[in-house]
């Protein structure tokens, strides 16, 4: 399982469904309309986890805090692995601050693409 798949799994987003949904819609078996993708309340889950966490984790701006909140490895090595998996530009990989900023924005965007409800203001 990929690092990003672990993130989706922790959020309750079924990665197998997200990957197979377009193929299932491409070949309709009946005349019924295709089922809508159900959005996962990622925002509610993350806010709930943050509220019950003893640490003050600012997951809305920090990839380290987001990973900690989900109970995932947040070391520099783990973040580099995730950044490589998601296609971080090479020039950002050498600067951990730039990589972290890129990674946080990209992870939130990818969560949205897989059915999570991330507010627009966090994606800008």
Q: Domain residues of the chain, as ranges?
A: 3-123
CA distance 69 to 11: 11
Q: Which pLDDT belongs to residue 83?
A: 97
Least confident span in 6-20, 39-53, 56-70: 6-20
Type and span of the H or E element at 23: helix 15-26
Provide the whole-model pTM. 0.78
Cβ 89 vs Cβ 75: under 8 Å: no
pLDDT band at 26 (very low <50, low <70, confident <90, very high): very low
What are the tens digits of pLDDT across the range 49-104?
Answer: 999 999 999 999 999 999 999 999 999 999 999 999 999 999 999 999 999 999 99
Cβ 98 vs Cβ 92: under 8 Å: yes
Average pLDDT, the chain: 83
Q: Coil, helix or strand for 5?
A: helix
């Amino acid at each position: 399982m990929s690092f990003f798949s672990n993130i989706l799994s922790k959020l309750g987003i079924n990665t197998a469904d997200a990957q197979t949904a377009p193929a299932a819609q491409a070949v309709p078996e009946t005349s019924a309309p295709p089922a809508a993708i159900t959005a996962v309340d990622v925002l509610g889950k993350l806010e709930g986890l943050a509220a019950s966490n003893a640490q003050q984790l600012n997951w809305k701006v920090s990839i380290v805090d987001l990973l900690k909140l989900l109970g995932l490895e947040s070391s520099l090595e783990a973040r580099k692995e995730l950044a490589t998996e998601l296609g971080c530009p090479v020039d950002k990989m050498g600067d951990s601050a730039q990589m972290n900023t890129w990674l946080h924005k990209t992870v939130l965007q990818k969560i949205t693409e897989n059915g999570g409800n991330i507010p627009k203001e966090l994606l800008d």
